[in-house]
């Protein structure tokens, strides 16, 4: 296991063990587009579940992964904005997300767990329809750990900042702009959003990287528990 990932696993697990049994342990992992935050979030979720399974082999998974992609505004909602053309062109920018809806989800997940607690459902993002898919991610009462992932989770202004007091561990994934740009261009081609790497690069330069620059500009590192650097080979360094 990557040394940084192993250290984050130990830190998260130890803090989780200190959390009351009726309280979910919430982790926020943010970063600019192309930083590798999704990969880190998924690997940390899997590692937490593996550690839990090793210690409690007969119990269900303890951790769930929850990306904020499901809180994209729908294309119909973008159509209703004052400047629909810009809204569609800039989809992925902060103003094209339902931050209020995301914060409400976080607040629901911080409600005490009881014998009567039921499944909480969150939206995912359907890349085929290019719109959110409601009630697609199930957070069960047995999910005592939730790993959130997204560009804007740690922004210092409302609505995002209202979620911060509920996060037990806040991680920011940093990455050199050149590496993010290369990853994003390839990602756009792989997703069918661009026919060539040149077109994928244009999308990255015109939308993704400006969004990332805004995230980096606004981030208050003093409010973050961990900053890790994403490397060219896909690993991380503290």
* pLDDT tens-digit readout, 3-12: 999 999 999 9
User: How would you classify the pairing of strands 169-174 and 226-230?
Assistant: parallel
Query: According to the model, what pLDDT value does residue 238 have?
Result: 66
| Residue bearing tokens 């697990």 | 13
CATH class of 3-237: alpha beta
Mean pLDDT of the region 86-114: 97
Exposure b/e, 200-237, CB count within 10 A at least 16 = b: bbebbeebbbebbebbeeebeeeebbbebebeeeebbe
Question: CA–CA separation, 62 vs 144, rounded Å?
Answer: 5
Q: Identify the band that residue 2 occupies on the pLDDT scale cut at 50, 70 and 90.
A: confident
Residue spans per domain, the chain: 3-237
Mean pLDDT of the region 93-116: 97
Mean pLDDT of the region 105-128: 96
Asked whether 35 and 204 are in contact (CB, 8 A), the reply is no
Q: Cβ atoms within 10 A of the Cβ of 142, count? A: 13
Question: CA–CA separation, 103 vs 33, rounded Å?
Answer: 21
Tell me which residue of 92, 103, 73 sits closest to 34, measured CA to CA: 92
Q: Identify the band that residue 1 occupies on the pLDDT scale cut at 50, 70 and 90.
A: low
Query: According to the model, what pLDDT value does residue 191 have?
Result: 85
């Amino acid at each position: 296991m990557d040394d940084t990932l192993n250290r984050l696993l130990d830190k998260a697990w130890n803090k989780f063990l200190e959390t009351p049994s009726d309280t979910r342990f919430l982790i926020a992992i943010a970063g600019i587009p192309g930083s590798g935050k999704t990969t880190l979030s998924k690997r940390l979720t899997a590692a937490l579940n593996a550690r839990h399974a090793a210690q409690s082999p007969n119990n269900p998974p303890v951790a769930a992964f929850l990306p904020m992609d499901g809180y994209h505004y729908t294309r119909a909602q973008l159509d209703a904005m004052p400047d629909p053309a810009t809204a569609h062109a800039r989809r992925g920018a902060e103003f094209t997300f339902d931050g209020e809806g995301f914060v409400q989800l976080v607040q629901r997940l911080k409600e005490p767990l009881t014998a009567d607690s039921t499944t909480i459902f969150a939206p995912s993002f359907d890349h085929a329809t290019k719109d959110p898919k409601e009630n697609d991610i199930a957070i069960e009462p047995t999910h005592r750990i939730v790993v959130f992932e997204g560009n804007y989770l740690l922004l210092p202004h409302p609505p995002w900042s209202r979620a911060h007091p509920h996060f037990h561990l806040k991680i920011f994934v940093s990455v050199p702009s050149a590496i993010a740009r290369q990853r994003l261009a390839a990602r756009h081609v792989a997703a069918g959003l661009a026919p060539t790497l040149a077109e994928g690069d244009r999308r990255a330069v015109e939308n993704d990287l400006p969004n990332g620059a805004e995230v980096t500009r606004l981030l208050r590192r003093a409010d973050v528990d961990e900053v890790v650097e994403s490397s060219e080979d896909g690993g991380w360094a503290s």
